Amino acid sequence: MMSARAIRTWCVVHKWTSLISTVFLLLLCITGLPLIFYHEIDRALGYDIEAPPMPAGTPLASLDAVVDASKKQIPGTYIQFVSWDPDEPDQVFASMAKRPDTPTDENRFLVLDARTAQVLGEPPFRSTFMFFLYRLHVDLFAGLPGKLFLGFMGLLLVGAVVSGVVVYGPFMRRLDFGTVRTRRSRRLLWLDLHNLLGIVTVAWVFVVGLTGVINTWADLVFKFWQANQLAEMVLPYKGQAPTQQLGSLQAAVDTARRVAPGMTPSFVAYPQSAFSSQHHYTVFMRGETPLTSRLLKPVLIDASNGAFTDTRDMPWYVTVLLLSQPLHFGNYGGTPLKIIWAVLDVITIIVLASGLYLWLARRKIPMDNEIAEATGTIPAMEKRVPQVAE
Amino acid sequence: MKSGARTRLGGFVRVFGWPILLALFGAIGLISALLGDGAWDVLSWAGLAAPVLVLAWHVLRPVR
């Protein structure tokens, strides 16, 4: 049995980690709810772009034709990334920027037909309401500082979850699991609901919260990878000017497929872009199972002559980040998993709101007395007048 | 001494038995859909739905 003093300390931890973060966690839960269905909502609003039907097995166009068509579509820009979506096998995407090395924030995004290399369109993703919610959820429109701030709020959530589990013990000592006292005060009803909803969803909230925190470090993790493992891989190129004359992208991807048999290209980062070196097409290959399709293996191809330079497995910190993404998004088990994700999110909103209510409707008695009343212990410090039961 | 320890363990199981069981179901649900498709997805839905169903039963059962 914990001492009254220890219980009091954990209650204070639970109160303050929650109070500081609750408003932001409510924002994250509320904006996150529609984001679970980002693609479905965009599709319903007519923002998605469809490739025309063609006979199955229609051969794919050369990626070099895709590159030419993209540059023609938006003259004077540079391709930074070419990518694929496993759910859209007939499409290929090009991310275009003003310079080869500009940050990706202003990039334009083209959808092309993978079989004809024709531009299908430029989805207006930055002007949609879903993108507004996405930015609120990811960085509060404040870039990296916004991400790191929200990550800190997520760490407070982890602290609130742990301390909440600890104080659940003494508070439930005299109650059966699932007790909801509906006939006493409103405050007691919401205390019971807060405890029950919170403890039942604790594994999910802990994982989604922690993986959310890890995701806020994505930019830093990839910068670190670029400065370490990637820098090691391209050491022979040290001091050379960035490659300007780019060779065939199709040849680079073909070479990458030979180097990493059984894997599929996920995206190609161009020289000088955020995920590559100054001199390479970095072809990020993925596996085919639900787990390995989330993991990436970079294959470095010299962009000037198409020669294979190096390939290595990602270091553990990138793997942790890549695995954190599905566990936060809930997009790895079909529509039923997304629906369960949404239900658990709504329950979490109720836990947050009821926690706030319990603080606002707190009774004007010292915390020690309330703990003593709930747990059946006598405050250690001094004898107090017993409280009249509610 | 021995009976005291047993009582303490009994108290812990009484308070945390259900939460630990439901957290295990949740963890299985979170992981299984990563490991495969088809049956793994179904296991994932069941694992994560279990806590919600237990919750619903306690909240919605007749008022005592």
Lowest mean pLDDT among A113-122, A232-241, A321-330, B55-64: B55-64
Contacting residues for A330 by C-beta, under 8 A, at least 6 apart? A36, A208, A337, A338, A340, A341
Average the pLDDT over B21-47 and give the result: 96
Q: Please check whether residues A116 and A134 belong to one and the same domain.
A: no
Among candidate residues A283, A303, A323, the one where a domain is terminated: A303
Contact criterion met (CB < 8 Å) for B41 and A333: yes
Q: Please check whether residues A257 and A345 belong to one and the same domain.
A: no
Q: What's the mean per-residue pLDDT of chain A?
A: 92
Question: What is residue A390's predicted lDDT score, i.e. its pLDDT?
Answer: 38
Tally of domains in chain A: 2
Q: Please check whether residues A89 and A222 belong to one and the same domain.
A: no
Residues above pLDDT 90, as percent of chain B = 72
pTM: 0.90
Dihedral class, residue A109 (left if φ above 0, else alpha if ψ from -120 to 50, else beta): beta
Between CA A67 and CA A318 the distance in angstroms is 29
Closest chain A residue to the Cα of B5, Cα to Cα = A1
Question: Binning pLDDT at 50, 70 and 90, where does residue A383 land?
Answer: very low
Of A41, A24, A348, the closest CA to residue A194 belongs to A348
User: Domain for residue A388, yes or no?
Assistant: no
Q: What distance lies between CA A353 and its chain's CA centroid?
A: 23
Question: Binning pLDDT at 50, 70 and 90, where does residue A381 land?
Answer: very low
E strand or H helix that includes residue A358: helix A334-360
Q: Please check whether residues A238 and A356 belong to one and the same domain.
A: yes
One-letter amino acid of A209 = G
Between CA B55 and CA A202 the distance in angstroms is 12
Between CA A215 and CA A139 the distance in angstroms is 11
The answer on pLDDT for A295 being more than 50 is yes
Structural domain of residue A39, as residue ranges? Answer: 1-48+130-243+313-381
Q: Please check whether residues A214 and A116 belong to one and the same domain.
A: no
Question: What is residue B46's predicted lDDT score, i.e. its pLDDT?
Answer: 98
Q: Please check whether residues A65 and A135 belong to one and the same domain.
A: no
User: Domain for residue A167, yes or no?
Assistant: yes
Order of strands, sheet of A108-113, starting from the edge strand that comes earlier in the sequence: A119-121, A108-113, A91-97, A78-83, A264-269, A280-286, A296-302, A308-311
Among candidate residues A303, A326, A344, the one where a domain is terminated: A303
Q: Please check whether residues A174 and A79 belong to one and the same domain.
A: no
Chain A: closest CA distance from residue B46 (Å): 10
Of A75, A109, A116, A72, the closest CA to residue A93 belongs to A109
Q: Please check whether residues A101 and A202 belong to one and the same domain.
A: no
Residue the block writes with tokens 């709101």? A353
User: Domain for residue A389, yes or no?
Assistant: no
Question: What is residue B64's predicted lDDT score, i.e. its pLDDT?
Answer: 53
Among candidate residues A303, A326, A345, the one where a domain is terminated: A303
Question: What is residue A126's predicted lDDT score, i.e. its pLDDT?
Answer: 86
Q: Please check whether residues A42 and A5 belong to one and the same domain.
A: yes
Q: Is A53 on the interface with B (CB under 8 A)?
A: no
The answer on pLDDT for A379 being more than 90 is no
User: Domain for residue A40, yes or no?
Assistant: yes
**Residue ranges of B 11-30 with Cβ closer than 8 A to chain A:** 11-12, 14-19, 22-24, 26-27, 29-30
Q: Is B37 on the interface with A (CB under 8 A)?
A: yes
Q: Please check whether residues A139 and A216 belong to one and the same domain.
A: yes
The answer on pLDDT for A151 being more than 70 is yes
Q: Please check whether residues A317 and A237 belong to one and the same domain.
A: yes
Between CA A276 and CA A123 the distance in angstroms is 25
User: Domain for residue A237, yes or no?
Assistant: yes
Between CA B45 and CA A180 the distance in angstroms is 26
Question: Binning pLDDT at 50, 70 and 90, where does residue A127 land?
Answer: confident
Average the pLDDT over A252-272 and give the result: 97
Q: What is the pLDDT of residues A26-72, one digit of tens each?
A: 999 999 999 999 989 988 988 888 899 999 889 999 999 999 999 99
Q: Please check whether residues A142 and A233 belong to one and the same domain.
A: yes
User: Domain for residue A387, yes or no?
Assistant: no
